[in-house]
């Protein structure tokens, strides 16, 4: 044992043994020693570029999902609106010339069942939709004489009609009084239109809706 050991001092300067009879006391290094170890220890760090790239991808997918949900909601609302409130009709028959022409796009409102004389309505005859003009409503008496169209005994002056209103050889018998919930319709093309002169009065509940807009698709 060298001189240092005889004095109870260890050769390791960071760990000191003091020899006391029957007891060994360990004096641990000071706190600064451990701090120096932590400073020298390399701690692996996550790649910040990978993290930011991953977060960016997640953000893009979240925005895409949110946009898809919004688009789906808009489409669903539009479908509900045009199923229960509004509708479109593409006119392909000449019975309403010149007011409604072949090729016109018709927007109609389904919920208004309060029809008045002069309204344009959408109905169906023999499986085909057609646009017709309301001439009379419940309680009115319609007649067609040589003088023209009579409603409740009064001769009608229809400024937008350019053809004479006449009875058809086969069809409705006149005079005709409309019952509750019934309307009488005519096409503006009075000489050839298939209308209430053929199929009689129409139940208001069978009407698809009232025309609110006509989009002219041909310039004639």
pTM, two decimal places: 0.66
The CATH code for residues 88-215 is 2.10.109.10
Q: What are phi and psi of 134, to 5 degrees?
A: -70, 130
CB 141, CB 184: distance < 8 Å: no
Residue 129: count of CB within 10 angstroms of its CB? 17
Opening angle at CA 161, ends 191 and 172, nearest 5 = 45
pLDDT at 15 > cutoff 50? no
- Sketch the domain layout of the chain as residue ranges: 3-40, 46-84, 88-215
| Residue 181 contacts residue 204 (beta carbons within 8 Å) | yes
How many other C-beta atoms are found inside a 10 Å radius of the C-beta of residue 158?
Answer: 16
- Cα separation of 126 and 216, whole Å? 26
Q: Is the pLDDT of residue 193 over 70?
A: yes
pLDDT of residue 4: 45
Mean pLDDT of the chain: 82
- Looking at per-residue confidence, does 66 or 128 come out higher? 128
Predicted confidence at residue 7, as pLDDT, reads: 45
Say which residue, 11 or 130, is predicted with more confidence.
Answer: 130
């Amino acid at each position: 044992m060298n001189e240092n050991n005889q004095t109870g001092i260890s050769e390791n300067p960071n760990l000191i043994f003091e020899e006391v009879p029957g007891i060994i006391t360990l004096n641990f290094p000071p706190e600064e020693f451990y701090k120096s170890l932590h400073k020298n220890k390399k701690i692996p760090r996550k790649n910040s570029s990978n993290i930011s790239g991953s977060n960016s991808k997640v953000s893009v997918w979240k925005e895409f999902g949110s946009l898809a949900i919004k688009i789906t909601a808009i489409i669903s609302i539009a479908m509900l609106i045009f199923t229960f409130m509004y509708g479109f009709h593409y006119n392909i028959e000449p019975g309403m010339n010149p007011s409604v022409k072949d090729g016109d796009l018709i927007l109609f409102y389904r919920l208004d069942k309060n029809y008045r004389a002069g309204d344009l309505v959408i109905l169906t005859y023999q499986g085909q939709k057609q646009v017709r003009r309301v001439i009379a409503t419940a309680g009115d008496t319609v007649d067609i004489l040589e003088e023209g169209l009579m409603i409740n005994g009064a001769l009608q002056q229809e400024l937008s009609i350019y053809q004479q209103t006449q009875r058809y050889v086969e069809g409705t018998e006149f005079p005709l009084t409309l019952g509750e919930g019934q309307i009488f319709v005519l096409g503006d093309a009075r000489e050839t239109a298939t209308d209430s002169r053929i199929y009689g009065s129409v139940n208001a509940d069978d009407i698809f809706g009232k025309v609110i807009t006509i989009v002219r698709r041909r310039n004639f």
